[in-house]
Amino acid sequence: MSLPKIDETYFTQFLVDLLNIPSPTGFAEPAVAFVEKELSKYKQLQLSRTRKGALIAKWEVKSDLPPVALTAHADTLGAVVKEIKGNGRLRLSRIGGIQWPTVETEGVWVFTEKGEKIRGSVLIDVASGHIHSGPDLPRDEKHLEVRLDARTTSEEETRALGINIGDCVAFDPRVEATNGFIRSRFLDDKACVANLVAAIKSMTDAGQSPKRTVYFHISNYEEVGHGAAAGIPDEVAELVTVDMAVVGPGQESDEFHATLCVKDSGGPYHEGLNKKLRAIAEKHNIPYKTDVYPYYGSDGEAFWRAGGDVALSLIGPGIDASHNYERAHMDGLNATTNWVMAYLSE
């Protein structure tokens, strides 16, 4: 069976829209709800939520084969307000592994408990070049602050705006699609959520169904290590995590292929399922590479550590500059979507 055609226009628009929804871990509900609304268009899917807020989409088919599952996460890096400084500016505590130097001068939204949004930007606390002669201060949570676009020069004035400790702070994604590339923060892992949604759309449009029942798990706590620790049904025999591939010096992955991760910080993945995925990719002429990721953990491993008894593998598109200003290419994104569809068809 040939693989269905991917609607690249749809894929790109869905991904851009998803990237533009602020969703740091702990505050990812708007992004999960956006995916849920999109998947509600497909009547063959049974949608539900976990108590933790993850989205489960079940595509049930008649088959003697045990069900499988795929997971991708909609939560991203971000921050919360750690301190309101005496000058009215904010000190942050990061969510996930955001690299502080990469967000200097970035625009942010601060979301208050009452639902208001206040604009601001991240600056070093000695930002003015006409005053300070020491630009070599470390870029970290002690020296970076949020300058609010509001009339405030004191803690009291900032609190009067409705801002409190623990409020969500979301960094601008700065999405741009150009020349086949998509540049944005948080392609990890919204690009792979788009892979799953595009696969569902393509198969549905082509009148195709999976060979067995499949669960699509959209998690919301991956960036802090426990996203898919719950929510994968016990009947699932195989779990494929769809998450970004690491691109950079010493890595085999690139932006133009999908990648099968053989090992990451948590150890090796399941050899049998890895072999199966390689054979599927080769059968369908899907361009892929294999790689080892030095500083990386996945939702699938969270499920393993929680006692999940499944064969587990990890695939995904190459993403340059992970946890920084990331970039992907449609070649790698399409390869991953095709790999997902080929897996479901075998």
Cβ atoms 340, 199 nearer than 8 A: yes
Quote the tokens at residue 158.
Answer: 């900032």
Quote the tokens at residue 317.
Answer: 């598109």
The total of other beta-carbon atoms located within 10 Å of residue 162's CB is 14
Question: What gap in Å lies between CA 240 and CA 35, rounded to an integer?
Answer: 19
| Catalytic residue (choose from 222, 223, 301, 326) | 222
Question: CA–CA distance from 64 to each of 204, 209, 234, 258 (Å)?
Answer: 22, 15, 16, 30
Quote the tokens at residue 217.
Answer: 């798990």
Question: CA–CA distance from 119 to each of 175, 193, 200 (Å)?
Answer: 18, 28, 36
Catalytic site includes residue 271: no
Per-residue b/e over 182-192, b at no fewer than 16 CB within 10 Å?
A: bbbbbbbbbbb
Q: Is 120 helix (H, G, I), strand (E, B) or coil?
A: strand
Question: What gap in Å lies between CA 239 and CA 257, rounded to an integer?
Answer: 21
CA 245, distance to chain mean position in Å, is 12
Report the DSSP beta bridge partners of residue 240. 70, 313
Residue with tokens 């004191």: 154
DSSP notation for 98-119 = --GGGGTT-EEEEE-TTS-EEE
User: Phi and psi of 215, rounded to 5°?
Assistant: -110, 130
Per-residue b/e over 55-68, b at no fewer than 16 CB within 10 Å?
A: bbbbbeeeeeeebb
Quote the tokens at residue 299.
Answer: 């939702």
CA 17, distance to chain mean position in Å, is 14
Quote the tokens at residue 237.
Answer: 């025999």
Residues annotated as catalytic (active site), given as ranges: 222
